[in-house]
Amino acid sequence: MNAALEFFANEGYDATSTSKIAKHAEVSEGLIFRHFGNKKGLLDAIYMQAEDRVKQLFGPILFCTDPLEVITRILDLPASLEEDQYDFWKLQFKLKWEVEYNNPDKMKPVLHKLSWAFSELGYEFPEREAKLLNTLLEALFLGILREGLLSQVDNIDYLKIKYKIKEIPVKAD
Amino acid sequence: MNAALEFFANEGYDATSTSKIAKHAEVSEGLIFRHFGNKKGLLDAIYMQAEDRVKQLFGPILFCTDPLEVITRILDLPASLEEDQYDFWKLQFKLKWEVEYNNPDKMKPVLHKLSWAFSELGYEFPEREAKLLNTLLEALFLGILREGLLSQVDNIDYLKIKYKIKEIPVKAD
Amino acid sequence: MNAALEFFANEGYDATSTSKIAKHAEVSEGLIFRHFGNKKGLLDAIYMQAEDRVKQLFGPILFCTDPLEVITRILDLPASLEEDQYDFWKLQFKLKWEVEYNNPDKMKPVLHKLSWAFSELGYEFPEREAKLLNTLLEALFLGILREGLLSQVDNIDYLKIKYKIKEIPVKAD
Amino acid sequence: MNAALEFFANEGYDATSTSKIAKHAEVSEGLIFRHFGNKKGLLDAIYMQAEDRVKQLFGPILFCTDPLEVITRILDLPASLEEDQYDFWKLQFKLKWEVEYNNPDKMKPVLHKLSWAFSELGYEFPEREAKLLNTLLEALFLGILREGLLSQVDNIDYLKIKYKIKEIPVKAD
DNA sequence: TATGAATGAGTATTCATTCAT
DNA sequence: GATGAATGAATACTCATTCAT
């Protein structure tokens, strides 16, 4: 699965042959089919980890009781991704184009929590603000996965200022 | 090229065989190779249109002299995409994962214009605001291409309010 | 390899498709590539047998201690070729045009032995005689492979007379 | 035809595509088919020159009245081949494997003349000697075409000595 | 006379998958 | 549980050939 993930994420599912995966994983090609039934089964097995990983990533945030902390931690998430997980998330984002693998509901609890947070903070349109931030969050993830963490620190920083998490620096721009 | 675009965008470059393209386009498979050299040549030919289309899309905005209009029109862009162009942009976004096809510079003039607009409007951090909006813009495009226009009208609307393009409705949420 | 040999020898390497070979050998086309890597690998595998076969053919002669016997046996070689080996040698001769497959050194030990034999027999230019006979030998092989044994019995017979292996018949021509 | 000859001789008929020939000859591919009907027609057109060239090569010898001169000139033929004709003769020799292009009768007049010459010179078996020399001649040609003139000067020289055309050098071997 | 766009059959090779061991 | 030999369908690409211009 690790070998497959690496290739699926970087070269694409269709561009990756089962033989390449088997060779890289140093197992026989037949074993892949014994375990996962077929190539798609292997992809699915990888994809299935998503729910867990999303929970792992966002779960703690759902228990925050301080609204500002919720937003802070949400904004800190993209930068907190460890590089050895990049491939996994890359693949998730690539798969999102296929309806079968695009499940917007996965983010519902987060969306809900954000809504609550903005509501607590007295925002006029907490749900809208939540949705917007959620949309933005995806863009931040994408940016980091594609072009590296550095490409998004500006945005994250600025968002923290906007959400009044961070003091406006005395001199900037 | 149209047949290829349709398949490349929806099923992926690697998952699309030249024979499928040829059949759909009602030409012989050999013709593809006569015209484009190889399969990648066909992809490149499609990709090359991107520069033109980006200019067509964003070009007029660069000539706006009213900063608020700049932002308005930028925000109106995603919704203005005609559906028959969805495939083209889908493909562009999918290709962004490959370094070869990811050219962030393409948006530089737009970024610059936004910077100017926010500066004119007296924003404290016009460049940061520009970059953020640009990032957001990509997310809006992505959302529309993946889940349809409806999925993003909320966001766009709310952004217009935030940027004070639209009056705050008397009753909302 | 047998199927391939038959086709390569008679119709030529380039004129023989791997599918034809596979069909004739009653195996799947894929198997050829699993075993030999690619079409050329198959050719090489066949070609590689040459060294062995040359040894098998000429080896015993190298151990002769009677110089006249050396020459006799050399002259008897072309006629001793079994017909089921014709294809193999045909292919070898065809391949000789490609530098990669033309290795004149293969005959060096034979040349050396002939040299020795002619020297023993008191020839004035044993090395030259050896080289000439070697050249002739190739022509005899070629003639037999192309036009059959009968086309060369005259030559072989006459050579035996010239080399005083055979008595001059009382009446001839 | 020149372009085709070059490729047919060096890379083989089947390995040479009509498109390659056309490109090299700087004509359109269609033209080849207009002129020669099909690829084989092109080969045939080249092959047809053989008769002429054989006549050109051997013709003068047929008129010799001095038997020793006949043999001398025959032996000088292989070395007299101009390098720009190598490709032509290479192709002829390669084609000899196909029955269709193997016409041993072409050499009959030469064979006959040699027979006469050896008879004049008092050889016991003039026809056999003629056939043998003819066979050898082919080997000399082949050797030169494959490995260059130098590879055969020894043989030719030695043959001249054997046929008493050349004096035995005082010191040799 | 010559071109070059177009084709359909064919090419070597790769692929996901099976299955006996 | 794991292997690897074997397969048949598919793949990107090339070929000889045609034909309208």
Scanning chain C, the segments in alpha helix (DSSP H) are: 2-11, 18-25, 29-36, 39-62, 67-80, 86-95, 108-120, 126-147, 150-162
CA D138 to CA D166: how far, in whole Å? 21
Of the two residues C167 and A60, the one the predictor is more confident about is A60
Rounded to 5 degrees, what angle do the CA atoms C29, C33, C38 make? 120
pLDDT one-digit tens code per residue, A96-134: 999 899 888 889 999 999 999 999 999 999 999 999 999
Low-confidence ranges of chain D (pLDDT < 70): 170-173
* Contact: C143, D135; criterion CB under 8 Å: yes
CA D93 to CA D5: how far, in whole Å? 13
| Contact (CB, 8 A) for B114 and B37 | no
| Contact (CB, 8 A) for B144 and B152 | yes
First-last CA distance in chain C: 45
* Contact: C152, D143; criterion CB under 8 Å: no
pLDDT value for C172 = 47
pLDDT exceeds cutoff 80 at C75: yes
| Distance, CA of D32 to C1' of F18, in Å | 12
Which single residue has its CA nearest the C1' atom of nucleotide E10? C17
Q: How far is B156 from chain A (nearest CA, A)?
A: 9
pLDDT one-digit tens code per residue, B113-154: 999 999 999 999 999 999 999 999 999 999 999 999 999 999
Q: How far is CA B68 from CA B75, B121, B165, in A?
A: 11, 8, 7
Q: How confident is the model at residue B72 (pLDDT cuts 50, 70, 90)?
A: very high
Q: How far is A100 from chain B (nearest CA, A)?
A: 12
pLDDT value for D36 = 95
First-last CA distance in chain D: 46
Q: How far is A110 from chain B (nearest CA, A)?
A: 17
> What are the structure tokens assigned to D142, written together?
């082949």
Residue carrying structure tokens 């498109």 = D19
| Distance, CA of C23 to C1' of E10, in Å | 15
| Distance, CA of B103 to C1' of F13, in Å | 30
Q: Which of D58, D165, D161 has its CA nearest to residue D112?
A: D58
| Contact (CB, 8 A) for C47 and C95 | yes
Residue carrying structure tokens 């599918």 = C19
CA D80 to CA D140: how far, in whole Å? 12
| Contact (CB, 8 A) for D71 and D133 | yes
CA A27 to CA A42: how far, in whole Å? 14
Q: How confident is the model at residue C53 (pLDDT cuts 50, 70, 90)?
A: very high
Q: How confident is the model at residue B104 (pLDDT cuts 50, 70, 90)?
A: confident
The residue count of chain D comes to 173
Secondary structure letter of residue C169 according to DSSP: P
| Radius of gyration of the CA atoms of chain C, in A | 19
Decide: helix, strand or coil at residue C36: helix
| Contact (CB, 8 A) for A131 and B154 | yes
Chain A residues in contact with B13 by the CB 8 A cut-off are 12, 14
